[in-house]
Amino acid sequence: MALPDSQIPWGAPYRLIAAEKWKAKSAAMGIPLTETLVEFAQPRSGMQVLDLATGTGEPAISLAQRLTPTGHVSGVDLSADLLAIAEKRAQQRGLANISFHQGDAHELPFPDQSFDLATCRFGVMFFADVDKALRELRRVLRPGAQACFVVWGPFDQPYWQATMGLVVKHAGEPAIMPGGQDPFRFAQAGSLSEALRKAGFSATTEETKAVPWNWPGEPEELWEYARSVSVPFRAMLDRVPEEKWPEIEAEVHAALRRQAGKDGVHFDALVVMASGTK
């Protein structure tokens, strides 16, 4: 029996396989977003930085490169398998000021007031108890430290409408089922700032930005990748009747080709940047 969408592990086997298969192109796709978050966070020499839900290592690796030779970045994630990929990537770059830790955002494995800065890229939306996780994050920050987040903006934007939106049209049901992991949990303006304030953060900021979201390959590859890593949409994808897939894939491929150029498939991703201060 398949697990309910809300219980599928974020490091599920099919996602790990996809992460390894497409690691170079996926990393290239995420570079502008990572750079945007790093600039938003403004890391400074000597800082102790926490990257929450680090996955395969970004923005932790980019932060560590920015902080070299002083300062240190600790990346935390639930998935030991994703962390193994992150560690390998950091080693390949010769980084000595970064470490990775398996841990739960709701019970971080660090003492109080350990960090000067925290980042989280596309992670906070999936925490089972957001308030508890944010309060736990605040616990490990030093007074005056900032926590900086980037989350998805609305589902109604070109990238999602050219991919999962077309599946929704044929499936005749919501993209995210009730109780499932929701990438768009904080898409509504002000909602993440409100969650930060509820957890005790002050001086909150929030803005919606368009960030380049470019796949350096063929449209068909992008769709294969999107299907493989999109854990929150798994329940919907699994319920699509087999006979509908040829038509869906033809429409998706056509939509992605309309965004394609000589060097890949090009979108602007609408994301929400938010921060709060302890």
Question: In the chain, what are the domains?
Answer: 5-277 (3.40.50.150)
Q: How many CB atoms lie within 10 A of CB 179?
A: 11
pLDDT at 8: 37
3-state secondary structure the chain: CCCCHHHCCCCCHHHHHHHHHCHHHHHHHHHHHHHHHHHHHCCCCCCEEEEECCCCCCCHHHHHHHHCCCCEEEEEECCHHHHHHHHHHHHHCCCCCEEEEECECCECCCCCCCEEEEEEECCHHHCCCHHHHHHHHHHHEEEEEEEEEEEECCCCCHHHHHCHHHHHHHHCCCCCCCCCCCCCCCCCCCHHHHHHHHCCCEEEEEEEEEEEEEECCCHHHHHHHHHHHCHHHHHHHHHCCHHHHHHHHHHHHHHHHCCEECCEEEEEEEEEEEEEEC
Where residue 186 falls (left for φ over 0; alpha for ψ -120 to 50; beta otherwise) is alpha
pLDDT of 173 reads 80
Query: Would you place residue 232 in the very low, low, confident or very high pLDDT band (cuts 50, 70, 90)?
Result: confident
Res 23: pLDDT: 74
CB 245 within 8 A of CB 53: no
**Residue 7: what pLDDT?**
40
Strand 72-77 with 98-102, pairing: parallel
Higher pLDDT: 107 or 234? It is 107
Structure confidence at residue 19 as a pLDDT band (50, 70, 90): low
- Cα distance between residue 24 and residue 28, in whole Å: 6
Residue 234 banded pLDDT, cuts 50, 70, 90: confident
Q: Give residue-wise pLDDT tens across range 115-157.
A: 999 999 999 999 999 999 999 999 999 999 999 999 999 999 9
- What confidence tier does 3 reach under pLDDT thresholds 50, 70, 90? very low
Of these ranges, 61-70, 78-87, 132-141, 233-242, the one predicted with the greatest mean pLDDT is 132-141
Q: Is 46 exposed, middle or buried (0-12, 13-18, 19+ CB in 10 A)?
A: exposed
d(CA 135, CA 33): 26
Task: Give per-residue pLDDT as tens, 103-118.
Answer: 999 999 999 999 999 9
Partners of 150 in beta bridges: 121, 273
The predicted-structure confidence for 249-267, as pLDDT tens digits, reads as follows 999 999 999 999 999 999 9
pLDDT for 215? 97
The pLDDT of residue 18: 56
What percentage of residues in the chain have a pLDDT greater than 70? Answer: 93
Share the mean pLDDT of the chain: 91
What's the CA gap between 165 and 267, in Å, rounded? Answer: 15
pLDDT above 60 (res 275)? yes
pLDDT > 50? residue 4: no
Query: Is residue 10 pLDDT above 50, yes or no?
Result: no
The more confidently predicted of residues 143 and 26 is 143
